[in-house]
């Protein structure tokens, strides 16, 4: 179900998704209504009949966005239901997912469709993935897929809980998981990108794997990336 999260922005809580070694993660989608009334969909959750009706009431889907190569799971079914939509993917995704429809590779320059409404910054230098971070200006919301996470204690069981604690994703507030921190081989490039992100006048934070943050997002971003900026 689409729930408002600031002006012109909605979110949907998707199903739990499996990952490697039996880990499971919550999922979340964001839908932004652009100035022309069309819709921009980030990290899609499953397309159901109910979701299609909700989306149709808001507008026509023009953009399907995958912010990194871990968030393409339901892109194909959305593309099938929304043939008018263009696919936009993080750098390198098209090579990794030749099964998906033809797409545009995201860069630091927003496409004309959402330029001036949603800013974007690819964060390079990571061998794990190149994630593209977004800033929805109207709601002053930063969208983060995997570079920041925060799950409740008890989400995982047994040894997985211990690994998640070491990874830093079960703390008091969202953090960059250690598996991502250790995967940056070009910290200078990453630092340059995050400097742009920290300049965004953010109030809210929308993560795929963590609670919705409705205030104080800018300070939280500064604390979460302090290790990289030192």
The sign of the torsion formed by the CA atoms of 35, 121, 164, 227 equals negative
According to DSSP, the residues that pair with 10 across neighbouring strands are 4, 31
Q: Alpha helix (H) ranges present in 37-137?
A: 49-58, 75-81, 93-96
pLDDT at residue 173 in the model = 95
Tokens standing for residue 131: 């994630």
Q: 171 near 159, Cβ under 8 Å? A: no
pLDDT of residue 187: 96
- The band of 108, judged by pLDDT with boundaries at 50, 70 and 90, is very high
CA atoms of 68 and 66, how far apart (whole Å): 6
> Which pTM value belongs to this model?
0.95
Which is nearest to 174 in space by CA: 219, 112, 139, 134?
Answer: 219
In the predicted structure, residue 62 carries a pLDDT above the cut 90: yes
Does the pLDDT value for residue 97 go beyond 80?
A: no
Question: Between these two residues, 16 and 181, which has the higher pLDDT value?
Answer: 181
Q: What is the largest CA-CA distance in the chain?
A: 49
Domains in the chain, CATH or no CATH each: 3-229 (3.60.15.10)
Task: Label residue 73 by pLDDT band (50, 70, 90).
Answer: confident
pLDDT of 132 strictly over 90: yes
CA atoms within 13 A on the CB side of 54: 15
């Amino acid at each position: 179900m689409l729930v408002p999260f600031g002006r012109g922005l909605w979110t949907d809580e998707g199903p739990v998704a499996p990952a490697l070694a039996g880990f499971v993660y919550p999922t979340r989608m964001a839908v932004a209504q652009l100035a022309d009334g069309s819709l921009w969909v980030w990290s899609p959750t499953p397309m159901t009949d109910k979701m299609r009706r909700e989306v149709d009431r808001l507008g026509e889907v023009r953009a399907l966005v995958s912010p990194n190569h871990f968030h393409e799971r339901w892109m194909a079914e959305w593309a099938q239901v929304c043939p008018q939509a263009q696919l936009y993917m993080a750098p390198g995704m098209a090579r990794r997912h030749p099964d998906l429809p033809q797409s545009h590779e995201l860069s630091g320059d927003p496409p004309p469709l959402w330029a001036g409404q949603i800013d974007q910054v690819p964060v390079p230098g990571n061998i794990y993935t190149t994630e593209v971070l977004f800033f929805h200006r109207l709601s002053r919301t930063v969208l983060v897929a995997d570079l920041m996470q925060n799950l409740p204690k008890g989400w995982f069981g047994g040894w997985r809980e211990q690994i998640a604690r070491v990874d830093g994703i079960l703390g008091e507030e969202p953090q960059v998981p250690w598996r991502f921190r250790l995967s940056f081989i070009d910290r200078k490039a990453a630092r340059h990108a995050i400097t742009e992100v920290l300049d965004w006048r953010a109030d809210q934070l929308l993560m795929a794997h963590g609670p919705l943050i409705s205030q104080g997002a800018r300070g939280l971003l500064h604390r979460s990336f302090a290790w990289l900026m030192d």
